[in-house]
Homo-oligomer: A and B are copies of this chain.
Amino acid sequence: MSRSSTSRSAEGRRRPPTIHDVAREAGVSRGTVSRVLNGGHYVSPAAQDAVNAAIRKTGYVVNRHARSLITGRSDSVAFLLTEPQERFFEDPNFNVLLRGCTQALADRDIPLLLMIAGTADERRRNLRYIEAGHVDGVLLVSSHSGDPVVTQLRRAGVPLVACGKPLGQTAKVGYVAADDRDGAREMVRYLYASGRRRIATVTGPPDTPGGVERLAGYRETLAECGLPADESLIVPGDYSRASGEAAAGLLLERAPDVDAVFVASDLMAQGVLDTLARAGRRVPEDVAVGGFDDSPAAVASRPPLTTIRQPWDRISAEMVRMLLARIGGEEAAGVILPTELVRRESA
């Protein structure tokens, strides 16, 4: 226990022990130490033990810079949020995703670098950093179609996994997404089963997967249920609460007899609830409201929202797993994860 625990003074930082200190302590060469550090192949059990003991004794931690310099890997990963998705930062879902990725990576001892590319300048800077090889791969949050970042990253050959299906360029880009279409179907089926017959929808932007897929699920299910397709029941939103409020206003004008609305996000559903309350419609008695996401907003709204749960924990875990696989040379793939209906009071 001579100089174990800490190798720093109370004042400042000392020079940490190197592989050389460990080798001396263990009575072996630096090569041997390195070998046990990297999997312990071709090392005798005796040497193993000696080295491990020496590592504990000296408090040795590998210098990642030196390692990276020679391996060419950085053993770190970027979490990149691109412009169109920037407001996602205010979305509670984002936190769950970010935290999930951080922890899944931490389990493998891989640091996560957070990058925000809100402006063109920031985008340039981040791309430069990434393309310089400072990270081994990137977890991308950017589902809008035609995002230039996706194209550039792909061209640069950087391993890449997107959250949500990258519209139009699914070919070479790995992605993990919730089953938007099926989630929408389940919700609409549920509304129908509870007796609703004038079921409207507030959609997401048409250049997002959630915008198109959830609408598609809505349309299909209506048809399956034998309900007429009525375009006046379809109102566009942009995922914001304000757009939900406005959409509901429009809806009430165009179709006063509406008795249910499937809203493509919880945030918008809150806006719908606001408008409905102001119009004196009771929820769910007069109008049932179904959301999407199962974000904190679903619990926070009054009444609490019946909604479709996105499996964020699984999504983040899967994104990390897939990115690591891609870094290891595996081909891109798309993973679609099932959603789940969560019943609360709004429908």
A interface residues, Cβ below 8 angstroms from B: 6, 8-13, 16, 61-66, 68-69, 74, 76, 79, 89-90, 92, 94-95, 98-99, 102-103, 106, 109, 111-116, 118, 122, 125-126, 128-129, 131-134, 155-158, 241, 270, 274, 296-297, 300, 302
Contact = CB atoms under 8 A, between A and B. Distances in A.
Copies in the complex: 2
Contacts of A109: 125, 129
A122 to B, nearest CB: 6
Given A89-B95, A90-B95, A102-B116, A157 B13 contact: yes
A128 B156 CA distance: 33
Give the dominant DSSP class at A's interface. Answer: helix
Top-5 shortest CB links A-B = A61-B132, A65-B68, A65-B69, A65-B65, A12-B157
B92 A6 contact: no
A103 B74 CA distance: 22
A296 B61 contact: no
B133 A13 contact: yes
11 contacts: A16-B132, A63-B132, A65-B65, A69-B69, A89-B95, A94-B95, A103-B122, A106-B126, A112-B113, A297-B300, A300-B300
Nearest to A155: B10
A171 to B, nearest CB: 13
Contacts of A114: 79, 98, 102, 112-114
A302 B278 CA distance: 12
A283 to B, nearest CB: 14
Q: Which of A94, A131, A155, A302 has the most CB of B within 10 A?
A: A131
A100 to B, nearest CB: 10
A203 B212 CA distance: 45
A74 B79 contact: no
B112 A156 contact: no
